[in-house]
Structure 1
Amino acid sequence: MLIMKKAISILSVLLIFSSCKKYLEVQPQLQVDQSQAIVDAGTAATAANGLLNTLASNSYYGSNFQALSYLSGGDIQWTGSQADPSEITKHITSATNGYVQSAWTAIYKTISQANYVLDKVPGIKDPLFTTAQRNQYLGEAYFIRALAYFDLARGWGGVQLVLKPTYSSTDNTNIPRSSLADTYAQVLKDLNAAEALVPTTLNRNRVSVKTVQALKARYYLYQKQWADAEQYATLVINDTNYGLVSPYSSFFANNAVATKESVFELAYSSSNTNGHSNWWLPPALGGRREWAPNDALVALLNDPTVGGNRSALIARTAAPGNLWYGQMYYRTPVGTDPAYVIRIAELYFIRSEARAYQGKLIGTGSAQEDLNAVRARAGILPSTAATLSDILLALEKERQVEFPFESDRWFNLVRTDRAQTVLSLPDKHLYLFPIPYNETLVDPNLAGTNRNPGY
């Protein structure tokens, strides 16, 4: 792969020039030489923070990776003139698409940095470096690598598993693509390693045991291991540090951060910003409004029987424009809004689906009960869905209005094999994004028949 053809510094600046003419970068405070980067307690802390910043970069959770889901899921329209995002909304994404390239590159850079932490931290000899710190940084690296491979698996299928750091141009070459099953197996292996290392102490911006358990619940949902999905979702739901906050907007409105709603959210600052508000807000509020809710989503959110108080997600500009826009990302300084990776509402939906497939449809401890917990928070009446098929459809519709501006709907429609029906896709090869063209040029393991079919 292209990123593995270079000796990539763990904390070097990566600039990607996207088709939207916008530079996406890892923050400059991370510019230190790789070979000297992790040698003591202080540089280990810098590396761990840098790894979180890479996960939060604009090419990953700060913007572009999430945009692949927003623009693919059928609820968000592209109002700009650039070809790349327009391709995604129309489901004619090409292998030269800049969003696809930048997201792929950023995910592998995140994996690369996790690998450096995992390689260097165990050998640190520093009396100020405690065992707890060592375990925390290693556990976070395992978790973030697991999340990165999870995102690659659900976006591109089986991928190349790079598990060692890249110190020279000859490292990590000639790695074949793994199967989807083997890619997910690596995710679980890393999650198991992380769970044994990270602290139990609550921290919504770092990785704790509950963070790992939440991603495990999502992992088991994707694997259709219903009992395990229910078990791990319950471990998080039953922790009183987490809960559905009311009304719905409480987790993001009025500059709220790190509420009980968040299991894992990425924090930003004026020196480490994300690009969400730039794309969602209208020009009158300092943005470009090139991602916007379409008419169908606006109608759903404004329907008091469907959206309920989730209508707070959207607002409309004054006449004569009268343009609807997303207002989840809005803060001053610009770009300091959190990125939400896992919220407690998702755990309720995971457990609801897992219980439904196990026949726990109605009553106490049921799929219906979990579904209605989220509906109650939105201020809408309980669902009467009582059969497996009805509950699954209700969950699909509920996710649509609960997470419209988070990277959820597209991947769940693909996971449940509903994307073709719901979005009228011509072919299921579109369930996967293309391997970026630049990668196929330099790596035969990604070229030819190793490409994703249909691209």
Structure 2
Amino acid sequence: MKNLNNKTKYLGMAAIAVLMITSNFGCKKFLNTQRPGEYYVENYPYPSNSGPYDQYTFAAYNSLRAYNVHVAPFFLATSVRSDDADKGSTASDGGADAISMDNFPVLPTNGFVNDMWNGYFTLITNCNTVISNINTNNTIVATDAQKKLAEAEARFLRGYAYFNMVRFWGRVPLVDKPVTVSGSNIPQSTTAQLYAFIEADLTFAAANLPGSWDKKFVGRATSGAANGILAKVYLTEQKWTQAASTAQLVMNSGLYDLSTSYDKIFGESGENSKESVFEVQATASFATKTANGIQNAQYQGVRDGGVWNLGYGWNVPNDNLAATYEANDPRYARTFLLRSTATVTNKTVYGEATATTWINPAYNHKMYTSASFRALYGDNSGWWMNMRVLRYGDVVLMYAEAANESGNPTAALTALNSIRTRARGSAAATVLPAITTTDPAALRDIIRHERRVELAMEHDRFFDIVRWGISQTAMAAAGKSNFNATRDNLLPIPQTQIDLSKNVLTQNPGY
């Protein structure tokens, strides 16, 4: 929650750099003069719903904002590597390591891949530190309920981290306790072992996390977030019945809905809305522009001079994605931020005319920051922008897919059409008309198409085409002819990590 908060009773306690993930409170973002994690009279030592392990838990949350967890390496691996996006910026910007994420192959020496490996294992280590303190630190006085809640938060974050890792690399070391450098040469586990571990972590988290928190803790993990990620795990494993029932738990909780209009979801005013299930929280102030934020908006902001100098211009939606939208689909305009031409004046979601001088013809409109916030913070970087990791619309589409695959196309159709109705907004009924077919094969293709346009540029597309078994065809259609599914469905194990392990770690096929 970002609100105007001038505290006069600052105690001078050591600040903890807190990252929070949103659950379900609608909160408008304002200038925040209290850094997350600082202690004041009103919240010292443990405010309501907080606990004695927070100093360790907050370190785990804070890892989610890291560059090597959710910024350039992440969107390169999830979006640029897909058929929806290109690297963007100038042709040479980012060097060979960035270019190869777009054009393939990604080499084992790729620095972004190694950065992400280190980032995710740092997150996992921080989660394991929480659990270790719960089990072994007798100097901390805590009730059983506080211990269980702290463990649930840590296991939620660890399960999420391992879910991303297994999708990026397949076989990775399974580490469930803090390890020293000398004890870190741990062989890779099989994907079956990893998925069982992930399921166990997220199931425990879902059973022991609250449905919501006091608003002062709006960012902390909830049972809805745990069930939502768990549903995606089941979907990836093609456990259709479990995926449908788990997604339905989120849908039946009454804590989320589709009331937030599509054009509002991605801006500052849409943060922490009823659409948000799992959202990396960021904040800034005029004096502190980056320390408590995340760099995604800057990396993906418009690249140009003057007033449009908003970022580096990476991760741009491409023509292949543009061609998939149905006529007059309002989601196109909220995804494609278009350069104006000599004959056409294009506009931002806030009504500003775009320039003809932009380096790229299109940018990721979902990462566009409000000019009012740029003025408020005296900065163009957008570090204050939250990152949406799991939206309610995604959960509804997961349910639609799983219901269709498990023999309930009627329920799938209802869920699918609810997404199309929200997307249509106030447009005529002829725009995004209701789907009527209940043929499972036809509905499968329609749901897949709907996931693509609803979640465009939101880090799911590559994982989707891999789990559907269509990555080779999809990438070829996008003109990414160097892509080889046998090799490129997984990233290479970083050569640096293989060397550090003295070859305990082994390389993925094809590299």
Same fold (TM over 0.5): yes
Q: How far apart in 2 are the matches of 1:144 and 1:228? A: 21
CA RMSD of the aligned region, Å? 2.5
Q: How far apart in 2 are the matches of 1:325 and 1:160? A: 37
Aligned to 1:434: 492
Contact residue 110 and residue 145 of structure 1 kept, 8 A: yes
SS at match of 1:59: helix
Deviations 1:14-54 (A, max 9, x none): xxxxxxxxxxxxxx999xxxxxxxxxx98721221111110
Q: How far apart in 2 are the matches of 1:288 and 1:377? A: 32
**1:325 maps to 2:381:** no
Aligned to 1:371: 416
State the AA in 1 paired with 2:261.
P
Contact residue 164 and residue 172 of structure 1 kept, 8 A: no
Aligned to 2:69: 60
Instruction: Give how far 1:118 is off.
Output: 0.5
Deviations 1:109-166 (A, max 9, x none): 1111111110012345568745443322211111111111111111111211011102
Is there any run of 5+ residues in structure 1 with no aligned partner, and where? 1-10, 13-27, 31-40
Q: How far apart in 2 are the matches of 1:89 and 1:170? A: 36
Alignment map for 1:389-404 (pairs within 5 Å): 389-404=441-456
State the AA in 2 paired with 1:211.
A
State the AA in 1 paired with 2:334.
A
State the AA in 1 paired with 2:110.
N
SS at match of 2:367: coil
Residue 321 to residue 298, structure 1, CA distance change in 2 (3 Å): farther
SS at match of 2:208: coil
State how many pairs are aligned: 411
Q: How far apart in 1 are the matches of 2:408 and 2:384? A: 41
Q: How far apart in 1 are the matches of 2:282 and 2:67? A: 11
Mean CA deviation greater in 388-397 or 203-212: 203-212
Q: How far apart in 2 are the matches of 1:220 and 1:312? A: 30
Q: How far apart in 1 are the matches of 2:504 and 2:169? A: 12
**1:272 maps to 2:292:** yes
Q: How far apart in 2 are the matches of 1:67 and 1:29? A: 29
**1:236 maps to 2:272:** no
Instruction: Give how far 1:77 is off.
Output: 1.2
Instruction: Give how far 1:76 is off.
Output: 1.1
Aligned to 1:46: 55
SS at match of 2:277: strand
Aligned to 1:383: 435
Residue 171 to residue 370, structure 1, CA distance change in 2 (3 Å): same
Report % sequence identity. Answer: 26
Residue 253 to residue 419, structure 1, CA distance change in 2 (3 Å): same
Residue 205 to residue 445, structure 1, CA distance change in 2 (3 Å): farther
Mean CA deviation greater in 217-226 or 421-430: 421-430
Contact residue 245 and residue 251 of structure 1 kept, 8 A: no
Instruction: Give how far 1:91 is off.
Output: 2.6
State the AA in 2 paired with 1:277.
A
Aligned to 1:7: none
Aligned to 2:315: 291
1:74 to 64, 68, 83: 83
1:107 to 92, 110, 120: 120
Aligned to 1:316: 338
**1:451 maps to 2:475:** no
**TM-score, normalisation: structure 2:** 0.75
Contact residue 233 and residue 350 of structure 1 kept, 8 A: yes
Higher gyration radius (CA): 2
Alignment map for 1:353-368 (pairs within 5 Å): 353-362=401-410, 366-368=411-413
Q: How far apart in 2 are the matches of 1:442 and 1:309? A: 46
Q: How far apart in 1 are the matches of 2:492 and 2:274? A: 37
Aligned to 1:185: 196
State the AA in 1 paired with 2:300.
W
SS at match of 1:386: coil
State the AA in 1 paired with 2:129.
Y
State the AA in 1 paired with 2:70.
Y
Q: How far apart in 2 are the matches of 1:104 and 1:127? A: 32
**TM-score, normalisation: structure 1:** 0.84
Contact residue 269 and residue 336 of structure 1 kept, 8 A: yes
State the AA in 2 paired with 1:151.
N
Instruction: Give how far 1:196 is off.
Output: 3.3
Contact residue 268 and residue 385 of structure 2 kept, 8 A: no
2:397 to 345, 349, 358: 349
**Higher RCO (CA-CA < 8 Å; seq separation 6+):** 2
State the AA in 2 paired with 1:418.
I
**1:409 maps to 2:454:** no
Aligned to 1:219: 233
**1:142 maps to 2:162:** no
Mean CA deviation greater in 179-188 or 385-394: 385-394
Q: How far apart in 1 are the matches of 2:489 and 2:145? A: 41
Instruction: Give how far 1:405 is off.
Output: 2.0
The structure with the greater share of residues assigned to helix is 1
